[in-house]
Chains A and B, each alone.
Chain A
Amino acid sequence: MRPHWLLALLPGAALAAESIDFNRQILPILSDACFRCHGPDEGSREARLRLDQREGLFRTRHDITVVAPGRPEASELVLRVTSTEADEVMPPPKAVRQLTAAEIDLLRRWVASGAPWNRHWSFEPPVRPAVPAVAASTTAARNPIDAFVLARLHREGLSLSPEAAPATLLRRVSLDLTGLPPTPADVDAFLADSAPDRYERAVDRLLASPRYGERWAWDWLDLARYADTSGYQGDPERTMWPWRDWVVQALNANLPYDQFTIAQLAGDLLPEATREQRIASGFHRNNMFNGEGGRIAEETRVENVFDRVETTATVWMGLTFACARCHDHKYDPISLTDYYSLFDVFNQMSETGAAGAGGGRGGQVAPLLDLTTDEERAAVKRANAELEAFARDVDAFERRKFPRPEGRPLAESPAAQRLPGNLLVTHVRTAPARRGIDGLLEALPYFQETDPDPEYAALLQRQIDLVRARDAANAAITRVMVMDELPDKRDTFVLQKGNYESRTSVQVFGAVPAIFQRPGADTPPSARPAGADGGTISRPRLHRLDLARWLVSAENPLGARVTANRAWQAFLGTGLVKTPEDFGAQGERPSHPELLDWLATTFVEGGWNLKALHRLIVTSATYRQSSRVTPDLRERDPENRLLARGPRHRLPSWMLRDQALAVSGLLVDRLGGYPVKPYQPAGIWEEATFRKKAYVQDHGDALYRRSLYVFWRRIAGPTTFFDAGSRQVCTVKVPRTNTPLHALVTLNDPAFVEAARVMAQRVLAEAPAGDSAQLTYAFRLATARPPSPAEAAILAERLRRLRDQFAAAPEAARQLAAAGEAPRPADLSPIEHAAWTSLCSLLLNLDEVLSRE
């Protein structure tokens, strides 16, 4: 699949002069071409030959040696891969994966050179590498990151690009750290600052901004599969936003990542857990929940545990556990037993798989944490009492208005039976104290207009007010889903093919994967088959809190690496390991292995300090490079894996919306709280849910909150976002594609049209008079830099033509100038306003504005 010209750029390739690196050059070939039948999976192993372990690879049996170091001619592996006999050659002719001539040659040379062997790189703990000495003549390096990058670039005869233009750099780092562009004032201050550390101070200002936590929470919500509904049929609502707010606060407070981890995986189990720690434990309540009618609860429960195991493995180990649900992993040393040992850890929550056990919102499932304050609870009590008392007055009145035998319900009154339609149900057959708002709102106009009774109508009006007050008080009651632990543990058995009904007799106990267990460490052996008598072997069992601690301990070789890699991916566009979801044998090798380990160890030694990690990356010369690229370099390194230039890529769609709100001045920067429902085309929820859920758009400030707070319905996510995580399963890398549908969003979505319209108002209000100054201001708002003369000329001409076009179509101008719900100044000419709105829309769609450059 991979074009050959690219091979030359891959790490480790074309280095014939150097010794062969088993991990980077040989293991990937063995894994890809051989492990399927000669790997960790016992079930599919052929000829009892196992090549993923040293013993198997160097084994001699019946005088046949698989690999004889230094002697290719005596090595069965070499003979097999070079054989021309159909029944002898490996891989067999029918296998989809065949070896290339270059790979066969490499295998032979590896054996000839003594066949050095070591374990897969990511299973060895990171060792802090020495920072390479970069030639003294190189002044480009700003911190050790650059030394690693330059060492590699120098080998290729390349160097770093010059630093990006100051305004471009400020916009880049502002978007990366806070998800928002700098204001023109920010840019002016930055440009006017002549101190040598102006950039570092700007970075510190951004890191301290509350917007930082909001920006980084997004990525965390994607991997935590956060949503405001459960998914599946019915897609009922749930309350998880207090957990989301905890994440924002923790990131802003720079809670060390090890504590951040422990709180989310096991905050409920910490000694004297605080309210915040218990909220944090909701991380593993964010999974989807299938409460469809006819579902077997246990099936749902087991599925949820699967999800928790696999999400944990992806986020903290970068390993793909899902395969091991049904069989030993084909490529990585993760066995069925390893999988179910982790399953046991997450198998101990009180969740039963039955839906609706939480009361309140339909999607809430116990265990829940009640966040209501005493005051709020008292308010509910008061509102209920007041309503009940008043309902007795209504009842008394109705006894006179609708006569019926003493002690009989209203429905038996002939006068009441004459009421029309819905009122028969909502009013006549419902006792006054139980009437809901909808029915009352229908009854009121009937007794005001159709069959007027002013006294009764006044009572109903008062009751409506009281019901509304009661509903408002109830709405303040907030319960959030959290984790808990059963006092009596569930037994965990390996399931056959992951089927909840098919228990095998193999009982397992909480443990970390065997590959990571260290002899002598107090990690318990994970499992023993049930004894012949069917009895089980009691052993110490890894607890959820133990697991959380282990994941962020030195014993997990992957925890810091995967975290550093995700940060790198966020800033540089691609991870040092391009497959953040897979650090296993089939994942990509790191492009800069020493740099990855240096970052990981520095991160840990600095106390798992995320802000420090981010600061380290964005203050490197590597990050600060211009993203300008020459055709030659583009040809050599199209994916920029060597990092000889700065990253340039389209912003995530959620950030595009935030940017448009910020640039127009519409953004409401209130932190946290209940999710909001901004503009969305009519009928999206209705179509997806067969009209069971109606989207009721919010108004006012709610339209202009950050994307992070937009209500996320799992089966029909917000339509403004594209290339976004599905929020259905853990996502650590979102795709970045380029399609016409995306263009339609930023051109026509009312959120973007309104932003352009209000941006036009802002330009006309804030910039000095005159097209030239106003165009420059608008351009700076969007890009952080002034337009070049050529750009200014194009825009000035466009503005002139737009004025002509709208002058000829005043009605169209009035329509466009009224886009959205935000107010507009009445004295602004619609023609001028429409022309500027169109121009601002053009600016918001510039590739430069859609990208971080």
Chain B
Amino acid sequence: MPPFQESSALFTRRQFFGRSALGLGTAALATLLGREAGAATGPSRRFGGLPALPHFAPRAKRVIYLYQNGAPSHVDLFDHKPKLRELHGVQIPDSVVGGRRFSTMTGGQTARPLLGAIANFSRHGRCGAWVSDFLPRTAEIVDDLCFIKSMHTEAVNHAPAITFFLTGSEMAGRPSLGAWLSYGLGSETDNLPAFVVMTSRDKEESCGQIFYDFYWGSGFLPTKYQGVAFRGRGDPVLYLSNPAGLSREVRRGLLDDLAQLNEIKRDDFGDPEITTRIAQYEMAYRMQASVPELTDLSRESETTLAMYGPEVRRQGTYAYNCLMARRLAERGVRFIQVMHAGWDQHRNLNSQLRIQCQDTDAPSAALVRDLKQRGLLDDTLVIWGGEFGRTPFLQGKIEEVKQWGRDHHPYVFSLWMAGGGVRPGLTHGASDEFGFKPIEGKVHVHDFQATILHLLGVDHERLTYKFQGRNFRLTDVHGQVVREVLA
């Protein structure tokens, strides 16, 4: 039974109101605005979620997924392959390629010369992880990171591959990871949505990829579990502001009467849905305060802001979204999906990759540091990664240096995680000497998803939802938890 459809939410609603009856009516403002940021992260109150979850003690309470749309080049950033420079310009052996398919962009290209990494690599930290010199700030925190260098996926084009990562299916329409988690685990705040999405893109707008709303959709789960996309300009939440001329004070009075009138109706008709309605109007009112409070950076120290880089004050940038992710995590949001497009360097690897790294390196690293210094990293899982990797061989012509690029490469790629129960300083898995395919510790996307759920105390085989006669789950009928990365 889907427990939150309006008509069947009785049981859950009763629990809900058992806990939050104080939040209703006129008392709401004082109690809720007085709550300090960060207070929600203590041993927690929970709103919604399935009674049986978590299945076991979670290592992470929330997730910040820094999704790098477009597919960052693993061989230029994290997967150091000296062989590529050694054999620069030499055709990749057919035995390695083995007839695998590529996108239509290089599918017809017969020359596939290997392309050495365009940036230098160095080793960093006590763990000695290799990181591209394009990512100096990330290099400084490698001892907090857990790398997986043996990721592989099935899709070769962006939208299906991103959909696969985030929903477990290449076809749009399944619930996304964040929707599953807010359905299963509920939220730790009733001031903000359980699942928030923020998007940004590279300044040159070099790639035309769209952020489809099914990247944070609820599929067949009730729509209340879908991610709420904060907008990059104006009110972060649609229709958040009262109309011009209608003050917060006037609104409060109207809502008080609305609640009173609705209570009369509820007492007469006995429809428990009315109680939920009253509560949701109160939450809307609280969001009208909590969202502006969320985006008010006046109490952030200059040191903190500086860490995220010069763009941090500009709404809609990756840096701003990373800072916002920390602020959302502090306030008890369950799943924060930050998506940044612009990693699709088919023809501009030499110029664009560096810029892309400059825009994202400091904010990503700052987020991990910032969470750590506030004690939030222990129970916040941070993930950085894209939908696939890029070919170790060249897309384009070797003599046209300015137009060098790399095509989509689903066969192996790298990502990193931090905090929330993963082993810091670890590198799991490895690719072959060309960075073409995994040779050790292969991690399929479904394995990765199973691992994320595991870290949140959820058995990926047991978080299911019956739809069209079938029990669906995020990992379909696959997925093995990657135990090696668990702390």
- A residues at B contact (CB < 8 Å): 1-3, 6, 31, 96-97, 233, 294, 296, 320, 323, 330-332, 573-574, 579, 581-582, 584-587, 627-631, 634, 638-640, 648-650, 681-683, 687-690, 715-716, 719, 722-723, 728-729, 735-745, 747-750, 753, 788, 790-791, 794-795, 798, 801-802, 805-806, 809, 811-819, 834, 838, 841-842, 845-848, 850, 853
Contacts and interface: CB of A to CB of B under 8 A. Distances in A.
B172 interface: yes
Interface in B238-296: 238-247, 249-251, 253-254, 257-258, 260-262, 264-266, 268-274, 276-278, 280-281, 283-284, 287
B448 interface: no
B270 A744 contact: no
B41 interface: no
Contact of A798 (B253, B262, B269): B253
B280 A320 contact: no
B238 A744 contact: yes
A845 B172 CA distance: 34
B98 interface: no
A740 B7 contact: no
Given A631-B270, A801-B253, A847-B274, A741 B238 contact: yes
13 contacts: A233-B208, A294-B103, A581-B468, A638-B7, A688-B210, A728-B173, A737-B6, A745-B239, A794-B257, A812-B245, A813-B245, A841-B254, A853-B269
Interface of B: 1, 4-8, 10-11, 103-105, 172-173, 193, 201, 205, 208-213, 222-224, 228, 231-235, 237-247, 249-251, 253-254, 257-258, 260-262, 264-266, 268-274, 276-278, 280-281, 283-284, 287, 461-462, 464, 466, 468-471
A749 B268 contact: no
B447 to A, nearest CB: 18
A735 to B, nearest CB: 5
A816 B210 contact: no
Which of A1, A330, A573, A628 has the largest count of B CB atoms less than 10 A from its CB? A1
A233 B209 CA distance: 8
Nearest to A314: B468
Nearest 3 pairs between A and B by C-beta? A586-B469, A816-B245, A815-B245
Contacts of A683: 231, 233-234
B469 A584 contact: yes
Contacts of A628: 268-270
A674 to B, nearest CB: 26
A737 B257 contact: no
Contacts of B260: 794
Contacts of B210: 233, 688-690, 715
A3 B11 contact: yes
A629 B269 contact: yes
Contact of B5 (A332, A736, A816, A818): A736
B264 A791 contact: yes
Contacts of B269: 627-629, 648, 853
A573 B5 CA distance: 12
A38 to B, nearest CB: 16
Nearest to A738: B276
Contacts of B249: 805
State the main secondary structure of chain A at its contact with B: loop
Contacts of B212: 715
Contact of B234 (A681, A801, A806): A681
Contacts of B271: 627, 629, 648
Nearest to A320: B468
Given A648-B271, A687-B232, A809-B247, A845 B258 contact: yes
Contacts of B233: 683, 687
A812 B249 CA distance: 12
Contacts of B1: 1-3, 6
Contact of B238 (A581, A638, A681): A681
Contacts of A3: 1, 11
A719 to B, nearest CB: 6
A566 to B, nearest CB: 16
B241 A748 contact: yes
Contacts of A294: 103-105
Contact of B257 (A753, A819, A842): A842
Given A573-B7, A715-B212, A805 B250 contact: yes
Contacts of A722: 223
Contact of B242 (A748, A790, A817): A748
Contacts of B105: 294
Given A330-B470, A838-B250, A848 B462 contact: no
A683 to B, nearest CB: 6
- The interface centre, meaning the residue of B10, B201, B266 with most chain A CB atoms within 10 A of its CB, is B10
Contact of B284 (A6, A740, A750, A753): A740
B224 A738 contact: yes
A582 B220 CA distance: 13
Contacts of B223: 722-723, 735, 737, 739
Given A688-B210, A740-B280, A817-B245, A749 B239 contact: yes
A738 B6 contact: yes
Q: Which of A294, A728, A738, A750 has the most CB of B within 10 A?
A: A738
Contacts of A648: 269, 271, 273
Nearest to A306: B171
Given A331-B469, A627-B269, A795 B257 contact: yes
A332 B469 CA distance: 10
Nearest to B221: A735
Given A587-B468, A689-B210, A802-B253, 14 more contacts: A96-B471, A320-B468, A331-B469, A331-B470, A634-B270, A687-B232, A715-B213, A744-B238, A744-B240, A809-B247, A838-B250, A842-B257, A845-B281, A847-B262
A638 B273 CA distance: 11
Given A96-B471, A582-B468, A738-B276, A744 B239 contact: yes
B270 A816 contact: no
A739 B283 CA distance: 9
Nearest to A813: B245
B264 A790 contact: yes
Given A809-B247, A847-B274, A736 B6 contact: yes
Contacts of B461: 96
Given A96-B461, A812-B247, A587 B231 contact: no
A728 B283 contact: no
A639 B8 contact: yes
A628 B265 CA distance: 10
A800 to B, nearest CB: 11
A330 B472 CA distance: 13
A207 to B, nearest CB: 27
Nearest to B277: A847
Nearest to A629: B270
B311 to A, nearest CB: 18
Given A320-B469, A630-B270, A802 B261 contact: no
A818 B228 CA distance: 30
Contacts of B208: 233, 690
Nearest to A574: B7
A638 B8 contact: yes
Q: Report which residue of B265, B268, B469 has the largest number of chain A beta carbons within 10 angstroms of its beta carbon.
A: B469
Given A744-B239, A794-B257, A816 B246 contact: yes
A634 B469 contact: no
B10 A638 contact: yes
Contact of A819 (B7, B244, B262, B268): B244
B47 to A, nearest CB: 12
A37 B400 CA distance: 56
Contact of B243 (A320, A582, A689, A750): A750
